[in-house]
Structures are given as structure tokens and as C-alpha cells.
Structure 1
Amino acid sequence: MAREHLTPQDWSNAALRAMARGGVAAVSVNALAGELGATRGSFYWHFKDRDALLTAALEMWEQHTTTALISELGDITDPRQRLTVLFATALGRESINGLEPAIVAHADHPAVAQVLRRVTERRIAYLTDLFAELGLAPAPARRQAVVTYAAYLGWHELRHSVCDIVPEVATTGAIATAALEHLVTELARPAMPHRTQPQ
């Protein structure tokens, strides 16, 4: 790709791919310029410095994986169906393999922390609202959202670190479909009221 045709999005995508491969340290201006067939001057045409690139890349990840997805789900009126589509999308193949675990692993990095916290808060808030629509009271809905999100993060970490044990959803056929349906059903089931034991 010629230098004059590069966009900030091209640099951001390259930064996310590098982060997925080797974490924040792998996001090197020189290495990315080599990958893109560009010069450092091309980089500085778009970004003030490396941290500005990291922020832009993470904000693009936020837009694609959270903001846009939530907007698309808004067209689905049934909350159970919305949850099903959300799970199928979230547990499916990542556009950049290993990116989510790499981002979470660098939660203490200043360029990562702010965006990651914002994404986490929005995702958990969205899940909380969704479970509330399915009949859970506010506190149980929040707890269910946190547990669900923790399971999501664990799924991606396992699939990244031991991919031979945790296969891709898209390739597991009927077993994955049955497991997903079971998970959706159980998570969407309102909690039974507590019954006191007879004296």
C-alpha cells in the first residue's frame, strides 16, 4: 500500500494486530511502518506520537466491538432474541485473534486503562439492562451481568491460550448451538423467589 493512501484507520488496524501478537510493547512505529510499507513521516502525518496511535486504535476497537454492536442489537425488540444474538456474536470468531485477551492483559497501561474501563462499564451496563428486561430485579440483574461478562472474558482467554481445548464457536456445529441455547436459557431465567422453611 502506497504511503499517500494510508489512513489513520490503516495505522490503527496495524496497531491492533501488533497488540494481539505481542501486547502494547509490540506497537512500534518503526515496525508498523515496515509492515505497511510506509515511513515514520507518514505516521506523524496522522498521529502526534505512539500513545495517540494506541488511543485511536483502542477507540476504534471500542467502536466496532461495543458501540456498533449495541446499536445493531437495538433493532431486535425481543430481549431473549437480543441476548441470543449478542452471545453468538461475542463468542464467535474475533476479527483479530487474541486481541481481547491482549487488551485486558494490559489494563494497567495508561493508554489502555481509560478505554478498557469505559468499554467494560458499558458492556456490563448493557447486560444489566438486558437481564432487567428479562425479569430480574436491579441487583440480581447487575450480578448476572458481571458473571456473564466474566464468563465471556474467560472464554476468549481460554480460546486464545488453549485453542485446541476450546474450539471456535463457528466450527463446532450442533454441540456449540446446543450449548449456546442452554446458556442463554439459563442466564435469562428469572431467579426463583426465596422460600422460607416451615417452622
Structure 2
Amino acid sequence: MVKASTTRQAWLDAAYATFQRDGLAAVRVEPLARALGATKGSFYWHFTDRAELVAAVVARWEEERTDATIALAQAGGDARRRLEALFTAVAHQRHDPATLYVQAPAEGVDGAVARVSRRRVDYLADLLVELGHAPDEAQRRSLVALSTVVGLAQLAAVDVTPPDPEALIATAMRMVLA
């Protein structure tokens, strides 16, 4: 049964859920239409093409996984507490299967992923500078921390997950601060 109308938000919600479950490559118009009980025409009423939908999914990913995480950490007090809040927030995020970092070039969203990565590295580096690290060293440590998070997401995508994610994040934080 086809619904009378499906909103742009419903399309985006369905696409984002698909992205989280199966990766960005699985975000396709026809399967989403079937899942929503909508027509492809409904999709094209709200989006010019799949690329526009993918851009909206990536924008939502950026807001949920970067903007909201940084805002949460910013409420944490001094630099040490903000760093702890940041690592705790990241530890509790459900990692997307088939991480967007690997999919970005093929999906044409590598510019957005690069922008998000730079924001993440710069935010962490700023905290480390506040804690007394030299700017160059803070940047290096931030890159290592982001690489660790991305690597863990990749491992989770193939069901290699640590038995104690909290302990792993605590170790990562100690290494970044060492």
C-alpha cells in the first residue's frame, strides 16, 4: 500500500537509519521507497537526486556525531573535564557500520568528511594546548586519537569489538594525555 504523502523528514530518517545499519552505499531510492510505502515520485518531490539525499544524511551525521558531541563536551568545565566528556561521549556512540571514512571518496562526500575530521582534530588539539601541550604535539596526538576512533569503527564493522569499550577509551585518553 502506498501512502498519500511522505515527508522529506521521513525520507531522511529512513535514509539515515539505513546508513547507520548498512552504510552509505545502501542508501538507495527504490529500497527506501518500498520501506516507506512511498513512490519514487514522492522522493523526487523532496530531493533532486540521490546525491542530495546523501548530502542530507552526511549533514545529519556531522550534526549528531560532531556538533552535538563537541557541544556536550563544551559543557564539561575545565579542559581536563571537557576532554573526559569528549572521550566518554565518543565511547558511548554507536559506531556506524562500514565507516563513512572509507566510503567517502566513492560517495563523493570526502570534502564533508575532511571538514568534520579537521574540526574534530582541531577541537581536541585546542583542549590539549589548554592542558599544556605544544601546538604541534597537540595536533599529532589529536590525529592519533581520531585515527584510533576511526579504526575502532572499522573493526566494529567486521565484528571485532573490544570486550570493555570503557577501558579502551580510558587507555586511549591516557595515551593522548601522556
Q: CA RMSD in A?
A: 2.3
Question: Which stretches in structure 2 are left out of the alignment for 5+ residues?
Answer: none
TM-score (normalised: structure 1): 0.78
| Alpha-carbon distance, 1:181 to partner | 3.5
Counterpart-to-counterpart distance in 1, 2:63 and 2:126: 20
| Alpha-carbon distance, 1:85 to partner | 1.5
| Alpha-carbon distance, 1:150 to partner | 0.6
Question: Which stretches in structure 1 are left out of the alignment for 5+ residues?
Answer: 170-175, 190-199
**1:70 aligned onto 2:70:** yes
| Alpha-carbon distance, 1:89 to partner | 1.4
Corresponding residue SS for 2:105 = coil
Change in Cα spacing, 1:168 to 1:34, as seen in structure 2 (3 Å) is farther
Counterpart-to-counterpart distance in 2, 1:79 and 1:45: 47
**1:38 aligned onto 2:38:** yes
Is the contact made by 1:55 and 1:112 (CA closer than 8 Å) also made in structure 2? yes
Counterpart-to-counterpart distance in 1, 2:163 and 2:9: 30
TM-score (normalised: structure 2): 0.86
Q: For residue 96 of structure 2, what is the aligned residue in structure 1? A: 98
Q: Deviations over 1:63-89 (max 9, x none)?
A: 111112212222222111111121111
Counterpart-to-counterpart distance in 2, 1:69 and 1:144: 19
| Alpha-carbon distance, 1:20 to partner | 4.2
Change in Cα spacing, 1:109 to 1:87, as seen in structure 2 (3 Å) is same
| Alpha-carbon distance, 1:2 to partner | 4.7
Counterpart-to-counterpart distance in 2, 1:158 and 1:181: 18
| Alpha-carbon distance, 1:134 to partner | 1.1
Q: For residue 183 of structure 1, what is the aligned residue in structure 2? A: 172
Q: For residue 111 of structure 2, what is the aligned residue in structure 1? A: 114
Is the contact made by 1:12 and 1:56 (CA closer than 8 Å) also made in structure 2? yes
Counterpart-to-counterpart distance in 2, 1:105 and 1:184: 24
Is the contact made by 1:159 and 1:167 (CA closer than 8 Å) also made in structure 2? no
Corresponding residue SS for 1:33 = helix
From the CA coordinates, give the structure whose radius of gyration is larger: 1
Change in Cα spacing, 1:98 to 1:69, as seen in structure 2 (3 Å) is closer
Q: Deviations over 1:164-199 (max 9, x none)?
A: x52463xxxxxx35x44343234224xxxxxxxxxx
Counterpart-to-counterpart distance in 1, 2:175 and 2:21: 35
Is the contact made by 2:12 and 2:57 (CA closer than 8 Å) also made in structure 1? yes
Matched AA of 1:42: S
Counterpart-to-counterpart distance in 2, 1:39 and 1:78: 51
Counterpart-to-counterpart distance in 1, 2:4 and 2:116: 32
Counterpart-to-counterpart distance in 1, 2:52 and 2:99: 18
| Alpha-carbon distance, 1:12 to partner | 2.1
Change in Cα spacing, 1:168 to 1:52, as seen in structure 2 (3 Å) is farther
Aligned length: 177
Corresponding residue SS for 1:63 = helix
Is the contact made by 1:19 and 1:102 (CA closer than 8 Å) also made in structure 2? no
Which stretch of the first structure deviates more once superposed, 52-61 or 110-119? 110-119
